Amino acid sequence: MSEAFLDNSLFRNIYCYVAGDSDGCVAHGYSSGFLPGGWEWVAFALTAFVITNLFIQGALGAVLGLIWGERRILARFQNRVGPNRWGPFGSLTSLADAIKTMFKEDIVPDQADRFLFNLAPVIMVVPVLMVFAVIPVGIGTVVADINIGLLFVIAITSASGLAIAMAAWASANRIAIFSGLRAVALLVSYEIPMALSLLGVLMITGTLSMTGTIEAQDVPFIIVQPLGFLVFFLASLAEMSRTPFDLTEAESELAAGHLNDYSSMKFGVLFLAEWAATIAGAAIITTVFLSGWRGWEPIPSHIWFAVKVVGVLFAIIWIRATWPRLRIDQVLTLAWKGLFELTMINLIVTAILTGAMADREADGSLFSTSELWIMAAVNWAVFFPSIYLIGKLLAAKPYDTDKGETLPAYPVATEEHALEGVAD
């Protein structure tokens, strides 16, 4: 067995209790497992199956908790009774919705492309579950600690926009197609600043590994990279179609958008994927900018990670309860005239600082804790003027009516006006 697998404590603790006389397990202090020698491939398959299902079931359980929690929090914000009073802790609301979804009739429109129509929910949910494979949820608790974790996350999360476009096109519904076009516009516009916002982190850590990124955060990167965090957070909301960027399902314009023609469990799977993407986004933000599972002892690392993820999810829900939905032109303007410029400022400042300070420390890190605090001070000094200037750039222009032009006066319903050309 490769040492790369055995270095993963989650894999090792399961595999070495199952495998037979494995030299790698013996070297790590384990005795023989219950399988006979030569059956290591069975132990590997069983271990992979258990870990995969553990993370998938954990993600699905977290989605159920998020749906229940978000409803309760929004009910508090909006002073509604049902989600907090119907059943123990408001649990019967989500239970009723789940039962209703499972027993609805599965309808496929006559003009729909059946293959793509049925494939879209799968394309939507599988990449989201794949993201959890590279996120360390505790010390040594990760499915695959690959050395290109950040690149993998950026690449795999872009599939959600394509799945929405596929679902919309397959529905043969013009309203759904508008939703698909908006999803593609958001994907193209916000994928660029999202990727660029991570370059500052990469300059500081010198690695694309998610575990390496956590270990480099002697000072959380939300403090060291405030511009990078702000851009990544807003771009993540757009990629997840969360308020105020939920244009793909703008109820007042597109009803349910790409979900219009979906029912029963196909709708349920798409719904599940959206909520799972929210949890994945919060986990990525926690890993990259909130120092992941790092915290103070004796609290376990898994608890620290969970608390930080819940904090990010609460902020996302708070934004949903507070901010109105932006128009499509405002969303695209924010991406190209706001976030893109902020990432350029962040890259330039970070490049100057890392170039001036880069000198590998004795522990292998690129920067000492004091140097990270110096970076934080400089970046915060740049943060506020940058936000002010971009805010002035994006501010709505006042209407200029003082041009000497006579504007036509349109009567309103309460005014009497002559109907020219109409006979008595």
Q: Quote the DSSP letter at residue 138.
A: B
In whole angstroms, give the CA distance from residue 355 to residue 351: 6
**φ/ψ of residue 396, rounded to 5:** -65, 135
Mean per-residue pLDDT pooled into runs of 10, the chain (424 residues): 67 75 66 70 83 86 88 86 77 80 79 84 88 89 86 86 83 81 85 92 91 92 95 91 81 75 83 89 95 90 94 93 86 91 94 81 72 93 94 76 60 54 52
| Neighbour-count burial for 143-155, b at 16+ CB within 10 Å, e otherwise | bbbbeebbebbbe
In Å, what is the CA distance from 303 to each residue of 51, 293, 307, 325?
A: 19, 8, 6, 34
Q: Is the peptide bond before 298 cis (omega within 30 degrees of 0)?
A: yes
- Domain coordinates of the chain in residue numbers? 3-45, 104-394
**What is this structure's pTM?**
0.86
Q: What per-residue confidence (pLDDT) applies to 204? A: 92
Adjacent-strand bridge partners of 141: 138
Single out the residue of 195, 281, 191 nearest to residue 233, CA to CA: 281
Structure tokens at 222: 């939300």
